[in-house]
């Protein structure tokens, strides 16, 4: 983080709640924080126009706006493709999408045997723990659910979900997701981990969170003690751009890893934000430097209100092809497409035909060696 920013924040175990409560939730608050005069001179001067203010209210009714002061402090008003602002500023295309029409293209709802539990694959389930996030990303694949205020039903379903997992011995992994599960209190997170760790046929528990990106102060001593107590636990973060990897993030990830947590990252390929081989090269290398393994690079899902973020598959393949040979293997995530209608994740491998030919050639050489040995 810039030194000027690092002096603003005080790292205590309670600070993250105060920071979350003081998040920017309206356009007026955002303008006040960024500075009206500075905005006038920037490529984002359109947010001062009455037409944008009206559209903002329309969009807000469908999908709330919220950003932490920490995260917005990373923004550059004078960059027309600022990766922070483009991820958080509402766009009228979110409610007037000319391309994508499905709110749930991955068919999570029809694979939900119990409210808030998704069972799309035989060996794992996704537990939707919270509607809330520190920052509401405009490309969110669960916009149909995220940002709705009630979390009562989620807590009410706790024991029925635990029983479902207990009774289905094919389930080997539970993914805690949302919203953001780390928006919940420590005691609730511990209660869930306590019950899950008592199920013998579970091998893996993953927590999917964007808190290390948008509110790194959430990684507290208390939280790390809980994660260490229920070792092993995997935390999957969501960094999309190298600018999000700040000094405080480095310290928090190091703190997290000292608790025995495996830290992975999944990014989304986003138009004008990170659809560039140089940006992704820096992102993946920096993640490794921070102790985070790049895990997935997602092709943006076909969710209603997100088509303006989507990069062509051809461009995505070309970017991955360029990264091969520039980044070591440990700094190359799988590039995946989550198929509509619940078809699952498909890895996209550049030059797949060339690789197949190479494998056939290797098999041929092995067969010839065997024949030679037999003779």
Residues annotated as catalytic are 120-121, 124, 133, 137, 140, 142, 301, 338, 345
Alpha-carbon distance of 370 to 328, in angstroms, equals 34
Alpha-carbon distance of 259 to 226, in angstroms, equals 9
Torsion sign over Cα 145, 151, 152, 158 = positive
Residue 281's Cα: distance from chain center in Å?
18
N- to C-terminal Cα distance for the chain? Answer: 67
Cα dihedral 166→168→169→175 (10° resolution) = -80
Residues whose CB falls within 8 Å of the CB of residue 228, separated by 6 or more in sequence, listed in order: 259, 260, 261
Alpha-carbon distance of 270 to 139, in angstroms, equals 9
Bridge partners (DSSP) of residue 7 are none
Angle between helices 186-197 and 158-167 (to 10 degrees): 20
Bridge partners (DSSP) of residue 268 are 298
**Can you tell me whether residue 122 is helix, strand or coil?**
coil
């Amino acid at each position: 983080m810039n030194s000027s920013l690092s002096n603003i924040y005080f790292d205590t175990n309670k600070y993250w709640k105060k920071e979350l409560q003081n998040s920017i939730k309206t356009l007026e608050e955002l303008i006040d924080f960024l500075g009206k005069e500075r905005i006038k001179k920037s490529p984002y001067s359109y947010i001062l126009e009455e037409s944008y203010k009206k559209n903002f209210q329309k969009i807000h009714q469908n999908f709330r706006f919220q950003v932490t002061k920490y995260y917005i402090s990373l923004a550059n008003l004078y960059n027309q493709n600022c990766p922070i602002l483009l991820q958080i500023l509402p766009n009228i295309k979110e409610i007037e999408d000319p391309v994508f029409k499905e709110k749930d293209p991955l068919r999570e709802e029809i694979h939900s045997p119990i409210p808030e539990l998704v069972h799309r694959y035989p060996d794992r389930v996704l537990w939707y723990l919270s509607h809330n996030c520190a920052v509401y990303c405009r490309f969110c694949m669960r916009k149909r659910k995220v940002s709705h205020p009630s979390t009562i039903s989620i807590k009410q379903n706790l024991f029925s979900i635990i029983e479902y997992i207990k009774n289905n011995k094919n389930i080997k992994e539970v993914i805690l997701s949302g919203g953001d599960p780390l928006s919940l209190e420590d005691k609730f997170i511990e209660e869930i981990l306590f019950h899950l760790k008592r199920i013998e046929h579970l091998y893996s528990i993953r927590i999917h969170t964007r808190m290390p990106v948008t509110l790194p102060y959430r990684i507290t001593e208390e939280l790390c003690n809980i994660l260490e107590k229920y070792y092993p636990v995997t935390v999957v973060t969501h960094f999309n751009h190298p600018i999000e990897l700040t000094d405080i993030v480095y310290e928090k990830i190091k703190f997290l890893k000292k608790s025995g947590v495996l830290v992975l990252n999944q990014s989304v390929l986003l138009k004008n934000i990170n659809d560039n081989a140089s940006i992704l090269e820096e992102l993946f290398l920096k993640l490794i430097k921070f102790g985070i393994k790049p895990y997935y690079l997602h092709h943006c899902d076909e969710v209603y209100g997100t088509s303006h973020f989507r990069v062509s598959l051809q461009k995505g393949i070309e970017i991955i092809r360029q990264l091969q040979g520039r980044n070591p293997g440990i700094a190359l995530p799988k590039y995946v497409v989550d198929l509509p209608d619940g078809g699952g994740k498909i890895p996209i491998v550049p030059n797949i035909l060339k690789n197949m030919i190479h494998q056939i050639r290797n098999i041929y050489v092995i067969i010839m060696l065997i024949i030679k040995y037999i003779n």
